[in-house]
Amino acid sequence: MQNNKDFGWFFTGFTEAEGCFNINIYKTKAGKYTAKLRFSIAIMQNDLDLLNKFKNYLNCGIISKPRSNDMVHLTISKISDINNILIPHFKNYPLRGNKLQDFYSWCVAAEIITSKSHLTSEGIVKLQDLFKNMNRSRVSLEDYLPSHCNKNSENYIPINGNYISGFIAGDGSISIYPSTLTLDNSKFCKIFISLTQHKNNLLLMNEIKEFFNINNKLNIYPNNTIRLLIENKEFFRSTLIPFFKKYPLYGIKLKNLNKIIKILSVIDKYNINKNNVYTQEIRQEIINIWFAES
Ligand SMILES: [Ca+2]
């Protein structure tokens, strides 16, 4: 079992990928405006164990499941939990991508709510201004200064492996192209890891690239995203699998990784190299591993 410090970094990395800092401004029955903060993580229902792990780690929050979809949510909205648990957590294990900006805005909002200023119209206006510039509605993307990622900044923080692990658990994909798992495909069993981000996280993506010594160039696509894609069994063997031994992965992506580890050992067992072909039996063995339950 990993110690709490490692899991703390994992949680921050996962939050960088999938967490959401929000400010809810609403009218009470009496017609007065008020506000609440909410931190949430929504993931697929089959990853519920991971959400419970986060809840246990934080020792606060509520897990819920909306009827409308296959997601489960961890929500923290009690201001005392936010002030005493969540904000200290992210100060000890800082975010480093563009979600850091949302966290900063959120901390200002927490002060407003803690001091009860949100019960005044000035306080509500301040919260509205903060809210208007958070998450997807952020207008000043150009102001984003990811100083924790910048080696020349005094705020630079070296990237932590457990953070990367959490980030991949959230936004990464570790898998096999299903189309390559047929019995009659010449490109049998193509495994890959990919990570896609908004271009604002270019510095962060470059750090991850450097961490793994990857030479691929990061292209910015017309939809403003950048993508890191590695389809190379040798990279899994020499870099990724040892990395995840040191910095464990949790959740559904760990299940995929474990299947890939098994599949690679089958490939090694039969000594299959690039030029060899898979026999029907070996293909079936690999297909069975990949499609096995859990
Ligand atoms: Ca994301």
Name which of 270, 263, 81 is nearest 176 in CA terms: 263
pLDDT of residue 141: 53
Ligand 1 centroid distance, CA of 20 (Å) = 9
The CA radius of gyration of the chain, in Å to the nearest whole number, is 22
At residue 34, does pLDDT exceed 90? yes
The verdict on residue 214 lying in a domain is yes
Locate 62 and state its tokens: 């509520």
Query: In angstroms, what is the span from residue 26 Cα to ligand 1's centroid?
Result: 26
Predicted model pTM: 0.94
Q: How far is the CA of 171 from the centre of ligand 1 (A)?
A: 5
CATH number reported for the structural domain that contains residue 238 in this entry: 3.10.28.10
On whether both 174 and 129 belong to a single domain, the answer is no
What spacing in Å lies between the alpha carbon of 130 and ligand 1's midpoint? 21
Distance 3 CA to ligand 1 centre (A): 26
Among candidates 252, 244, 260, 113, which has minimal Cα distance to 189? 260
**CA of residue 72 to ligand 1 center, whole Å:** 16
Ligand 1 centroid from CA 278, angstroms? 37
Of 149, 169, 200, the residue at which a domain comes to its end is: 149
> Which domain-ending residue is among 81, 115, 149?
149
- Final residue of a structural domain among 149, 175, 209: 149
- pLDDT, tens digit, for every residue of 162-178? 999 999 999 999 999 98
Percent of the chain residues past pLDDT 90, beyond the cut:
73
Mean pLDDT value of segment 231-253: 96
| Cα 197 to ligand 1 centroid, rounded to whole Å | 7
CA of 18 to the centre of ligand 1 (A): 5
CA of 266 to the centre of ligand 1 (A): 33
Kindly give the distance from the C-alpha atom of residue 15 to the centroid of ligand 1, in angstroms, as a whole number: 8
| Structural domain for 256, as ranges | 161-291
DSSP state of 220: B
Q: Assess if residue 156 is contained within a domain.
A: no
Asked if 142 and 170 sit in the same domain, the reply is no
Q: Are residues 281 and 171 in the same domain?
A: yes
Q: What is the pLDDT of residue 145?
A: 66
- Parallel, antiparallel or unpaired: strands 33-44 and 62-64: unpaired
